[in-house]
Structure 1
Amino acid sequence: MPSKTGYRAVDDSSQHSENTIEEHAEGIQLENSHFSKQAAAAQAIPSNLQLFNSNQQTRKLFLSQSIRWIGTLIFVAFMLATLKVYHDKDNFSHDQKYAFNTIVTACSLGLGLNFFEAFKDIAKVLRWRILANKRHSVREIDLIISIENLTTVFELAWECRKQILILLACFSWIAQAAVAVIGLSYSVDSGTDYRGVYTQPGTVNASDLSCYYNNNACPVEPEVPQIVAHTYGDISQSDRCCQYKELSDVLNSDKNCAYYCNRTPGQEEFAYRFTETNPEDFSRTYPLFTNRVVTASYDQCYQYDVNQTSGKKVDDDNGDRAAYNWSYSNGTISGNITIPTEYSAIDSTTYIYRGLEVPQNETENACGPQYQPQTVFQCPITISSVSNTTLESQTISNGMAKLAAASIGLQGRSVNQANGRIWTQYQLYPYGSRWEIHNLPINIVGSRMAEFALGSLASMAIRNPTVQSHGAVPILGFHLTVQWEFTLALCASILIVHFLLFAAAVYTSRLVIIKDDSNLSTARLLRPLVDHLGGQGTLIGGKDLSKAMEDNGVKGLVYGPREDPGAGGRILDISDRVMPRRTLARWRHPDGIYL
């Protein structure tokens, strides 16, 4: 007895008996009618009949899948926009991190669900194409119908491992992994140093610039700050000095440099950029670099030729005949200078501070505010005012600037004489010392003096205690690192794969009838198959049911239309009496009315 399943239909090009048409179409005359007339009369078709129009099915599927693809595009675009915005933030706060995680999680979840549902929809379409193409076993039919369930995909791939089309449909699910892999293309890293901070208004710690501190206090004895200033300048040679050409290079630098050096011949200059720190950052690990800068440079240096025959042994400051007095001249200016023998050595350099007062109070040998001459080569050293200050505590006094400018020749020594203390001091730098200038050009002489002065100030600012003021507080934050090439490639692959599958589904809908995916509709289509078991097998699973039916000789099943003389029209069926799609006219399921 012929099976009667699915929709039953009457082909518009078929000739049927008048009785058959009256029985199933309630008197509708279909003989020799054109299909365009069917569309006009579609509303007159009884509810137990269904008009199939491949173009209408394609348009409906195109609309639904277009919405899915646009949804994927929106989620991908929103994901990329979020990554771009937070990546450009450089560093962001804890609250912004939570907001980022929330947005990205929502995007990933939405993209994943939309992509997953799109795959399910496409799988539901493609399965009918696969079922219609060739004959299958009962087990294959069962697995193909369930292809939208990921758990059955691997079973189907194994069962149909020699069928390329089915394997491709199975492996297309792997594209969903791209959504999860996006999370591996970026990372939110915690800040650990000055490069990982964001700022907010509050109380900050800034260097106390009022004096050269010693033991966390401003020294009372005048000798102590001189010793400290010299020591700080001397140890600065071990600090990192970053190169610059313009002062804007210093302000725009993202490097943590002790100070900055411009060694362009004839333009030598040295700069220090002040920092502020979070009061909780006791080790100053993540300072904020301000726009306040102090510089040290030299003006025109004068070089004098020493009369080698003029040296006379004279008393030093202690009254001992342990010094030599030398005369010098450059053709315009002449003078003489006394150097104790203890501060003389072969191929060495002796820096001399000739002031009568301590450097902070010197006026006779000062050339104006923050300006101090030095000798053997006579080089005026200029310490600039601190730029962009807003508070008095951010400035360096003239006295501090003079002390730094003279620091290369200081040792904190004075001599008591009848008319008071004399602060003339000497510093000897032997051959090989960084500050030794034997046979160097005159511009290098001035450069070394300026660098020593700036290094003294920089070391002082770094090592002095701090004072608190209102400012931008640096706080360790988070930074988004994105592997853009990988991220863009993944997002592009998601969109391209979705579009290709979408296009394949739309094309497929032109060739085969896409059944409704409801359980009742599918059960109606499969009922003739399970009828082979009679009333048995109500509890066993699909694999055992398939085996039982195959044992009963059920095989070579195809999905598609067939004529059912008993029903008097065309029906949809899955049976061995259905012909594969490629044996049909135009390799497609025909339009028309199905029973």
Structure 2
Amino acid sequence: MAAEASANYSPIPTRDEENGANEGRGEAHEDVQNDVQNPPHDAETTNVPIIEISPPPSPPSPPTRVNTDNSDNISVAQTLSQSGTRPVEQPPNHKRYSNLSVWKERIYNSVAPSLHEIMELGYSDHSTSREYRHHKQRNRLLRLTIGEWINTLALCVGYFSILYAYSKKDTISVPQRRVFNALTTGVSLLLGVNLAASLRSYAKLLRWRMLAACYRPLETFDLVMGCDSLMNVIKLLWKAQNQKRKFLPSRTQILCVLWLLVHLAVTILVGIIGLNYNLDTSADYVLTQKGSTSIVDLNSLSTGDYSADLAAVQQWGIRGEVTTPLDQGYDVEEQQSYYSSFEGHTRYYFQDQNADDPDRVIISSRYIESLASCQDYTVSRGQYGNLSYIIYNNGKKDVNQSLPATPGPGGLLFISKLNPTCGDRCVEFHTFQAATSPDSNDNGDGDEDEDEDNFDGDLDDGGVGTYFICNNTVPQVQDDYNKLTSEYLTEDMVGRMLAGAIGWSDNPPTADGKEEYAVYTNSSEMSFPEALGPGDVADLISSFTMGAISFMDNSPAMYRKTVISKEQPIAAQVLNVTWRYAGTILAVIPFIHFCTLVAVILWANKAIIKDDSHLAIAKAYHTLLRELGDRGCLLRGDEIVSVLGNPPVAYGWQASGEYDRAMHVDVFHNLTTRTEKPFAEGWYDGNGKTNGITTSTGTANNTGLRGSFGQRYRDVDAADYF
């Protein structure tokens, strides 16, 4: 090979040879001109015009290069000292460059780590020399890799933002759920693809440093060259065994394990993000759509037996005592609750159910109200509720009022008028609260003074009874937003039944069938530990009615009817995120990526990084593979390794005396040709002689296979030196 390479170069001719050659070429040129200008004339061609033909230009002579004996012994110090010398430039071409093309070229140069020279307008496009500088390549590596890390950071922040935004929603509808699933799936895929692409590009950068670290068998060298594939990394983990210590891993195997763990870590972290959030069914909110809705049918309270219906309404009210009155400023109504002013005005919003799924309940915009008011009068006789009559003063005179029953001390008697005069949906009440007995309520003079301040009564015997005249009205069902149809309305008779609920009972009517009464003793479920005012009694009447309606609406014993509504409740979903783990994972992924980025930049920059194109890599293998010549065009990679004998090879550089001392990078398989030092800064082009440096006599120096280097050749292995 050395002989073939030397045949391509000719010695520099002496001055005499140049003159002789020029004279010879001059005589030949004159002969050609004479032959062209004085062609032989023929009688038949006398009328043909004579055309002068210029002689063809002389072919350019091949460039000559000087090979001296000293060119084989160039030191690194000499190379570095002359690294600033620029190779002889060819004459600039006259191609015009636009500002846009210049900026495009500069942008490309700034992000391509393998481009070791920024092209200039005055420099020839056909120059093969490139300049290598550590800091320039490091800056390009940073610009190349930082963009991928920024993508990872942006995707993690976007993932976090999606989870945070949807976790703050009270309900997530079906379309919103589909958008959420699409966003999270898309971000997860992009994050996984970006991380895989980043690690793949990092492997392409790291391989040149690994290949330059030491000599290794060609089979292992080829696996390192393709280490961007995880399959090749696994093969390399098996092939790069420690030849000296069978039971200890080699450095190459350790790096392979670390690289596989990084891939596994980022893949698992991206995958388990989805395990830290769930779309659960909301227990507090529902969504609505048009469909079959189940609503309470208050008209079903009227069965035709009026007395029995009134007693049933009172029983609903007693069971409704378990309901909870809410202040009117309360945000959301709960089940078995209603709004109250605590002065006689209550409101209940109906809670509709999904006809197919009773567990799906929605608070509708339909409501029903109860409006009660009372006037109080002081009882002067019979105030303890142990007489069949009482005497109270109505502000003008004393009135003797007979009682259908005696409530007893501290008891409460409600008398409901069956024929009220206050309205179609109104009931009038006469209510008597008896005073507690002196024995059970005698706490001294101080208590008597306090009762006197509160009720302005005559406390000679220690108790005060109060007589109230009240009325309660239950208006028609109303809606905050929609106009109601007849299927949502209630009958007036049902309204009266609900308005007088606290005064109905299963006792027979009195006063010639015009009144009904109900007695609530102080020991019953409705106990009254203290004297009541008119507002308290009005609130008691209104709350009793609204408690009955609220309990009916949430009781399976109450009849319901199905209507077609635009507000059919359906299940709503809510996003629950375990932020302790999800947030940690989304922070760890960019951290791992950044640490890998820094390690790649610091370690890979110690070698010249070539372009990833197949042409550039083929150029790196050219010197090694030209030993095959024209043979083996269909050989597989393992067959090429077998034909070449699996020699130890390494990626490195070599000082050269040719082309104005431009250095050379190549794949070396001779231990004496590669410079065993870090890559030197300067201009690189080279002469392509890597299997022994060619001397001026055309012989190859192959002493590297003998002596101490030969011993190293036998012992060298990638597993031992890397």
Q: CA RMSD in A?
A: 4.9
- Kindly provide the CA deviation profile for residues 225-279 of structure 1, in whole angstroms up to 9, marking residues without a partner as x: 212211111111344x2x633x342xx31x642113658xx65764422123334
**Aligned runs of 1:324-473 on 2, under 5 Å?**
324-329=387-392, 332=395, 334-339=398-403, 344=407, 349-355=411-417, 357=418, 361-363=419-421, 366=422, 370=426, 372-377=428-433, 378=468, 380=470, 382-383=472-473, 385=475, 386=478, 388=480, 390-393=483-486, 394-395=488-489, 399-415=493-509, 421-429=513-521, 431=523, 433-442=524-533, 445-462=537-554, 463-466=558-561, 468-473=563-568
Say which of 185, 194, 200 aligns to 2:289: 200
Per-residue deviation, 1:435: 1.0
Q: CA distance change for structure 1 residues 262 and 562 in 2, over 3 Å: closer, same or farther? A: farther
Say which of 286, 302, 307 aligns to 2:381: 307
Counterpart-to-counterpart distance in 1, 2:430 and 2:394: 19
Amino acid at match of 2:201: D
Counterpart-to-counterpart distance in 2, 1:344 and 1:369: 28
Q: Report how many aligned residue pairs link the two structures.
A: 522
Per-residue deviation, 1:539: 8.2
Per-residue deviation, 1:491: 3.2
% identical equivalent positions? 19
- Kindly provide the CA deviation profile for residues 66-97 of structure 1, in whole angstroms up to 9, marking residues without a partner as x: 55445445544554555455445543444543
**Structure number with larger C-alpha Rg:** 2
- TM-score scaled to structure 1, two decimals? 0.70
Q: CA distance change for structure 1 residues 577 and 564 in 2, over 3 Å: closer, same or farther? A: farther
Per-residue deviation, 1:190: 4.4
Q: CA distance change for structure 1 residues 45 and 571 in 2, over 3 Å: closer, same or farther? A: farther
Tell me if the contact between 1:291 and 1:387 (Cα under 8 Å) persists in the aligned partners: yes
- Kindly provide the CA deviation profile for residues 281-331 of structure 1, in whole angstroms up to 9, marking residues without a partner as x: 3x3x1122123334446545626335249989xxxxxxxxxxx52213368
Tell me if the contact between 1:57 and 1:509 (Cα under 8 Å) persists in the aligned partners: no
Counterpart-to-counterpart distance in 1, 2:566 and 2:383: 62
Counterpart-to-counterpart distance in 2, 1:349 and 1:541: 106
Say which of 96, 102, 108 aligns to 2:182: 102
- Of 374-383 and 449-458, the range deviating more from structure 2: 374-383
Tell me if the contact between 1:525 and 1:573 (Cα under 8 Å) persists in the aligned partners: yes
Any idea what SS the aligned residue of 1:514 has?
A: coil
**Aligned runs of 1:221-232 on 2, under 5 Å?**
221-232=305-316
- Of 385-394 and 176-185, the range deviating more from structure 2: 385-394
Tell me if the contact between 2:425 and 2:474 (Cα under 8 Å) persists in the aligned partners: no
- Of 393-402 and 226-235, the range deviating more from structure 2: 393-402
Any idea what SS the aligned residue of 2:366 has?
A: strand
Counterpart-to-counterpart distance in 1, 2:326 and 2:214: 76
Counterpart-to-counterpart distance in 1, 2:177 and 2:235: 42
Counterpart-to-counterpart distance in 2, 1:370 and 1:488: 61
- TM-score scaled to structure 2, two decimals? 0.59
- Kindly provide the CA deviation profile for residues 95-142 of structure 1, in whole angstroms up to 9, marking residues without a partner as x: 543444334323322221122111110122133334545777888756
Say which of 335, 351, 365 aligns to 1:257: 335
- Kindly provide the CA deviation profile for residues 53-73 of structure 1, in whole angstroms up to 9, marking residues without a partner as x: 556655655555455445445
Counterpart-to-counterpart distance in 2, 1:293 and 1:497: 59
- Kindly provide the CA deviation profile for residues 456-487 of structure 1, in whole angstroms up to 9, marking residues without a partner as x: 12234443422525432222243333344544
Amino acid at match of 2:484: L
Counterpart-to-counterpart distance in 2, 1:506 and 1:137: 26
Counterpart-to-counterpart distance in 2, 1:176 and 1:45: 45
Could you tell me which residue of structure 2 aligns to residue 19 of structure 1?
66
Say which of 547, 570, 587 aligns to 1:475: 570
Structure 1 unaligned segments of length 5 or more: list them: 3-16, 25-29, 313-323
Any idea what SS the aligned residue of 2:201 has?
A: helix
Q: CA distance change for structure 1 residues 528 and 198 in 2, over 3 Å: closer, same or farther? A: same
- Kindly provide the CA deviation profile for residues 304-361 of structure 1, in whole angstroms up to 9, marking residues without a partner as x: 335249989xxxxxxxxxxx522133684643444456x655x563432241x2xxx4
Say which of 277, 281, 284 aligns to 1:186: 277
Counterpart-to-counterpart distance in 2, 1:310 and 1:102: 74
Matched, 1:292 2:292: no
Q: CA distance change for structure 1 residues 45 and 523 in 2, over 3 Å: closer, same or farther? A: closer
Tell me if the contact between 2:155 and 2:187 (Cα under 8 Å) persists in the aligned partners: yes
Could you tell me which residue of structure 2 aligns to residue 34 of structure 1?
84
Could you tell me which residue of structure 2 aligns to residue 594 of structure 1?
685
Structure 2 unaligned segments of length 5 or more: list them: 3-63, 72-78, 90-116, 239-248, 434-467, 687-722
Amino acid at match of 1:560: G
- Kindly provide the CA deviation profile for residues 370-405 of structure 1, in whole angstroms up to 9, marking residues without a partner as x: 464340142636556445262154455664444223
Counterpart-to-counterpart distance in 1, 2:165 and 2:515: 61
Q: CA distance change for structure 1 residues 303 and 161 in 2, over 3 Å: closer, same or farther? A: farther
Any idea what SS the aligned residue of 1:291 has?
A: strand
Q: CA distance change for structure 1 residues 36 and 75 in 2, over 3 Å: closer, same or farther? A: farther
Counterpart-to-counterpart distance in 1, 2:384 and 2:130: 126
Tell me if the contact between 1:301 and 1:379 (Cα under 8 Å) persists in the aligned partners: yes
Could you tell me which residue of structure 2 aligns to residue 172 of structure 1?
262
Tell me if the contact between 2:133 and 2:682 (Cα under 8 Å) persists in the aligned partners: yes
Per-residue deviation, 1:199: 2.0
Counterpart-to-counterpart distance in 2, 1:60 and 1:424: 97
Matched, 1:121 2:205: no
Counterpart-to-counterpart distance in 1, 2:390 and 2:155: 85
Per-residue deviation, 1:452: 1.4
Any idea what SS the aligned residue of 2:513 has?
A: strand
Counterpart-to-counterpart distance in 2, 1:32 and 1:591: 8
Counterpart-to-counterpart distance in 2, 1:256 and 1:574: 82
